[in-house]
Amino acid sequence: MDWEKILNIPDFTTTITAVQRHGRRLSTDALQDGVVNPQQIYGGGGNVLIHLVYFYAQKKWLHERIILTAGRYAPGPDFDSSPLQCLVMGQATCSQPRATTLTDGYSSWPGTVWSMVLRVRPTKPTYITLGAYETSPLKGGTAGTDWGGDHITGATLAIGGGYEPVFGAHKLNGHYKIGMLWDTSRHAYNEVDTDAPTRWRHGQMISYIAFDQMLMRNGQYSDSGLIILGGYTHVTSGISVISDQAYVGIEDIGQFAGRPRDALGLTWSALRYGPNIKSIWQPEHGAILLDPLAPDRPLLASRESIFDATYNVHVGDGIDIAPDFQYFWRPGGSGRVKNAAILGINAHVTL
């Protein structure tokens, strides 16, 4: 709702977004992988008909040099994310590295928490973003409407900055960003290979660096061109599911004359699991696991890699169809599940 048109309040809007999230996770059903889902939609955010996502107000000043957002929001749109990462279908990088979304202090579409975010542009190509968010493992729950205070475990404070240059006569866009998030919650160390009492610590840190840069322009749209991208995310190792993730990618949008919205996307992502994270796949009792001297020790996850390739075909106004191919090395991170090839298709219809 644009309140400048309704009550003559300039540059003030309110937003409510709800989505349909019915479905199951292919990764859990077929890959013994509960971490990286090949699908963007089905099985994420709760198997429900309607899921409430955003419910927030936003005020802008000085021609959008200062923007304040408050309400049911998330770090996802502002920290360690990019819409370019969602050209491919898989959730390894869409629209942020999977390492971030597995933490309680980082919520992203369709999960939201009570938030307040301030973004300031000291100069046109630079920005600084400050955010404060409640920490809630539920992140709105199955339907996005569970806002109960009993589930709040702490607060997450975030700071990030970026540089968005435009090079040369062909206006080659770039986005360079760095930042960190600190969750004050109490976290348990997952020491699955000992009988010692669970240890706890306060605080979990997410730090990241990421970039994308257009190397060659193909057309008039801001993203029409040959683009390289990459990034690295680290999460406090002892209490994280994924402690480290690195990714690289290349996108070529509008490469064929007469088809300005067709796009090719290729990404490769490598993930390192936190220590003592159990693999979903477990052999039968008594099998030789990681340590021949400890046959009853749970099978742990260690590392996993994913390649994702897609080609988006722009059929017409508002209609896009994108066949997608993914290959998983070490699904679930244990090395005991066979590598898997996945074929899919992503369709967008906008009326």
* Domain boundary assignment for the chain: 10-349
CB 313 within 8 A of CB 348: no
State the CB neighbour count (10 A cutoff) for residue 152.
16
- Bridge partners (DSSP) listed for residue 320: 314, 348
CB 308 within 8 A of CB 92: yes
Kindly state the DSSP code that residue 284 receives in the 8-state scheme: P
Nearest alpha carbon to residue 112 among 161, 32, 53, 49: 53
CB 155 within 8 A of CB 184: yes
316 HSE (CA, 13 A, CB side): 1
State the CB neighbour count (10 A cutoff) for residue 110.
22
Q: What is the pTM of this model?
A: 0.89
For residues 302 and 290, what is the distance between their CA atoms, to the nearest angstrom? 11
Q: pLDDT tens per residue, the chain (351 residues)? A: 999 999 999 999 999 999 887 777 788 788 888 788 888 766 556 677 888 999 999 999 999 999 999 999 999 889 999 989 888 988 889 889 999 988 888 988 888 999 999 999 999 999 999 999 999 888 888 888 888 777 788 899 999 999 999 999 999 999 999 999 999 998 877 666 555 556 777 899 999 999 999 999 998 888 999 999 999 999 998 888 899 999 999 999 999 988 999 999 999 999 999 887 888 887 765 555 555 555 567 788 899 999 999 999 999 988 999 999 999 999 989 888 899 999 999 998 888
Q: What pLDDT was estimated at residue 147?
A: 84
Task: Extract the runs of DSSP E, i.e. beta strands, from the chain.
Answer: 12-19, 51-61, 66-73, 113-120, 126-135, 154-163, 166-167, 172-188, 200-217, 225-235, 242-253, 263-273, 303-316, 319-329, 340-349
How far is CA 204 from its chain centroid?
18
**Residues 101, 238, 79: CA angle, nearest 5 degrees:** 30
Q: What pLDDT was estimated at residue 226?
A: 97
- What does the buried/exposed string (b/e) look like for 288-313 if buried means 16 or more CB atoms within 10 Å of the residue's CB? ebeeeeeeeebbbbbebbbbbbbbbe
Sequence letter at residue 269: S
For residues 41 and 51, what is the distance between their CA atoms, to the nearest angstrom? 12
* CATH (residue range 10-349): 2.40.160.10
